[in-house]
A and B are shown apart, each in its own frame.
Chain A
C-alpha cells in the first residue's frame, strides 16, 4: 500500500512557507474550536442539569466563550510568593504545546493536515504523553499543597492509564498493519474491497472500551477527574494560576479533548473514511470530497465530545486507589487479553468475525465488572419500629 500524500503546497508557495501557513491555520482553528467547546460544554451541562447555560452574551450566549477569553487575557497574572518562579511560569506552556504539536499529523480529511507521518499513531502518543511534564511542574512549582496533591495524582494516573491505552491501540494497529493514521482511517470504509475492514469499534469493541476509559483518565474527565477534583483539591495543579496562564491550561484541556476525539474517531470509527465502496463517490454528487471527509470527522469527534460531557454530568468521581485498582487489575489484564486474541487472529489468519465475537465477549466481561456493585441496589427500605420499653440500656 502506498502512503497517501497530502496535497501539494497550497497556492504553489514554497514548501517551508506552506508548513508555516498550515501550522498557523491549524493553531487558530483549534483555538476557535476550544472557545466554542467550552461554550458547548456549558450549554450541554446546563441542559443536563435543567438550566439554560450561557444565555446573556449574544444570541443564545454565543459570544460567551469569546468574552471569557478576552476577560482571561486581561486579568492579572499572579505568581505566589513561595512559587518556584521558572517552573511555575513555564508549566502552562509545557502543558499546551504538546497538545498542539499532535495536530501535525491528525487527519481531519484525507488531504487535510500539516504533514502525513507514516508513524502518525506513535507520534501522537509520544507527544501527548509529554504534557504530564507540564502538569507535574505546575503541581510542584506552585508552592501549594492542593496543587502538589493534584500534580502527583495526575502523574500517577496518567502514567498508569497510558499502558492499557497503548496496548488497546496496539491491537488495532496489528490488524491494520500500519501506524499511518490516514491509512488506518482509509481501511475502515465498510467496502468489500481488498484490505478493507469494518470500523475497528465493531471489530474490537473491547479495545474501544479500554481506549475510551483510559482516554477519559488521560483527559482528567469524570469519573477520573481526580487530579482536578473541586471538592477535594480545589482545582488541583492549576489552583494558583490566573489570567493568561490559567487559560493556557484550559486551552490545553479542551484542545486535548478534541485531539483525542479526532484521534479516537480516526482509529476506531473510521475518521474521514466514507462508508461504502470506493466507487461510491460523494464528491460527484455535491461539493468536494474533502468537505465530506471533514464533515464525517467533525461529526464523529462531536459525538465523542457529547458522550464525554454526558458522562461528566452524570457520574461521580472515583477515589485514587479505586482508580489504580481499576487500571492495573481490570483494564490492563483485559487489554492484554485483547492483545493476545488479536495476535492469534492475525497470525493464524482467523476470519474477522471470530475476532469481533471474542472481543465483544471481553467487552461484556468489562461491563459486568464495572456494574457488579451497583446491581446490589437495595430493593426496599428496612423499617424499624420502636416503643419506649425497647430502649437499650446503655
Chain B
C-alpha cells in the first residue's frame, strides 16, 4: 500500500508575479495641484517611475487678447497671469510698453511701483510658505498664519487701488492715483505684521524636525542644470547662483536701493523654501527704504500722455524679476494703438518643465512636495 502525498507546491517567488506599474491621476481636481494642473504619475508601489504633466486648463488666450485690445485696456488681463502677485505683472507689462514707446515715468510713480510690487512679492511668497506647509502635511496651520498677514497686505492694496487681488493700479506712464494720506503709517504696520508672520512660520517650519527631514536633500538641482532648463527665480538662486534681475539688469529705482540676494547651497527643497523666506525679509528692507526715499508730493502719472497711445513700429523684450522668476514680456508694434504681438515668457511655465526630472525616482509624497516647491501659478503657466 502506497501513500499518495499531495505534490509539494512550487514555491512562489516574486518573479512569478506580473507586477505592473500603476498610473495615478493627480489633478486637475486634487488638493495638491495648486490650481488646475494635472500630472499623471506612473508609480511602482510608492516610487514614481514617470510623470507626465498636462497643462492648459486655465488657458485664456492672454497673448491674443492683448493683440486685440488697446495698450491700456490689455493691462487688466496681465493681472490674471501671476494672480498671487497681480501687481508685479502689471508693472512688467507697463514697463515693457514704456520701453517700446519711450514714455517716461515720474519718479514718485517709480517708487510707488516698487513698493507695490514688493508688497505683491511678499504676498506671493507668503502664499508659498503657507501652502508649502500644507503640501508637506501640516494641517493648515502654516496656511492660516500666512493668510493672516496676506489679508493685511490685501487690505492695503484695497486702500491704495480699490481692489485686492487684481489692483489694476499701474498705468503706462505711472500709476493711476496717488497713495492715500496715511499710507506710510499703514504700510509700516503691515510690514511689522509680515515680520511677525515670518517669525511664526519660521518657528513652525524651519526648526521642525519632520519638515527638515522631508525637505533636506530632496530633488537637488545644480546651477548648470537649472540654467539649461531655463529655471529662474528663487529656484535658480537656491542652487547658489545670485541671479536676480533687480540687480543683474536693474530697472526702475532698484539701482538706488540696498538689498541682498539670498542664495542657497544645494538647490534642494529646503533651500528653495529658505531662499523665499529670506527674500521676504529683503522685500521688507526694500519697501522701508522706498518709504524713506520717496519724493513727497509730485505727479504720479506722466502728464504728456496722448489720448490714444500709438506706438511706432518696433519691438522690445523687457524682463522683470517676477515673484517666480524671469517674467519676460516681448512686445512688437507695427504702428497703431494695438500691439502686433505680445508674448509672455512666464517663469512658472519654464520652472514647471523641470518637474518630471525632479519627480522621477522619488516617492509619491515627494512628488507633491516638489510640485509645491516649484511654486507655480497656473494662471501664468497656461496664460
Contacts and interface: CB of A to CB of B under 8 A. Distances in A.
A161 B185 CA distance: 55
Contacts of B136: 316-317
B289 interface: no
Nearest to B362: A319
Interface in B183-213: 204-213
A373 B212 contact: yes
B334 interface: no
Nearest to A313: B141
Q: Name the residue among A232, A322, A371, A383 with the largest chain B CB count within 10 angstroms.
A: A232
A386 B366 contact: no
A285 B312 CA distance: 96
Q: Name the residue among B205, B265, B281, B364 with the largest chain A CB count within 10 angstroms.
A: B364
Q: How large is the interface on A (under 10, 10 to 19, 20 to 34, 35 or more residues)?
A: 35 or more
Interface in B208-261: 208-214, 216, 223, 227, 237, 240-244, 247-249, 260-261
Interface in B113-141: 133-141
B274 interface: yes
Contacts of B244: 386
Contacts of B206: 377-378
A376 B368 CA distance: 24
Contact of B263 (A49, A382, A394): A382
Nearest to A394: B227
Contact of B138 (A234, A315, A384): A315
A177 B139 CA distance: 41
Interface string A52-68: 00000000000000000
Contacts of B366: 319
A312 B209 contact: no
A384 B207 CA distance: 24
A45 B139 contact: yes
Contacts of A222: 137-139
Given A381-B278, A382-B263, A232 B32 contact: yes
Contacts of B322: none
Given A146-B24, A226-B365, A378-B274, A314 B207 contact: no
A388 interface: yes
Contact of B247 (A313, A373, A386): A386
B339 interface: no
B145 A50 contact: yes
A315 B206 CA distance: 11
A9 B279 CA distance: 70
Contacts of B137: 222-223, 225, 229, 231, 316-318
A49 B214 CA distance: 22
Interface in B361-377: 363-366, 368
B65 interface: no
Contacts of B278: 381
A349 interface: no
Nearest to B249: A388
A123 interface: no
B347 interface: no
Interface string A301-314: 00000000000111
B214 A231 contact: no
Contacts of B32: 231-232
Given A145-B24, A146-B24, A222-B139, A232 B368 contact: yes
Contacts of B227: 392, 394
Q: Name the residue among A148, A229, A382 with the largest chain B CB count within 10 angstroms.
A: A382
B357 interface: no
Given A315-B138, A316-B137, A234 B209 contact: no
B144 interface: yes
B263 A383 contact: yes
A313 B140 CA distance: 8
Interface in A312-350: 312-322
Given A315-B208, A391-B248, A51 B144 contact: yes
Interface of A: 45, 48-51, 145-146, 148-149, 153, 222-223, 225-226, 229-234, 312-322, 370-374, 376-378, 381-386, 388, 391-392, 394
15 contacts: A45-B140, A49-B144, A51-B144, A145-B25, A149-B364, A231-B31, A232-B368, A316-B211, A317-B138, A321-B46, A372-B209, A373-B216, A376-B212, A385-B260, A394-B227
Given A222-B137, A231-B137, 8 more contacts: A45-B139, A145-B22, A229-B365, A230-B31, A312-B139, A316-B138, A320-B365, A374-B209
- 7 closest A-B pairs by beta carbon, nearest first, are A317-B137, A384-B242, A374-B209, A49-B144, A316-B136, A383-B260, A381-B278
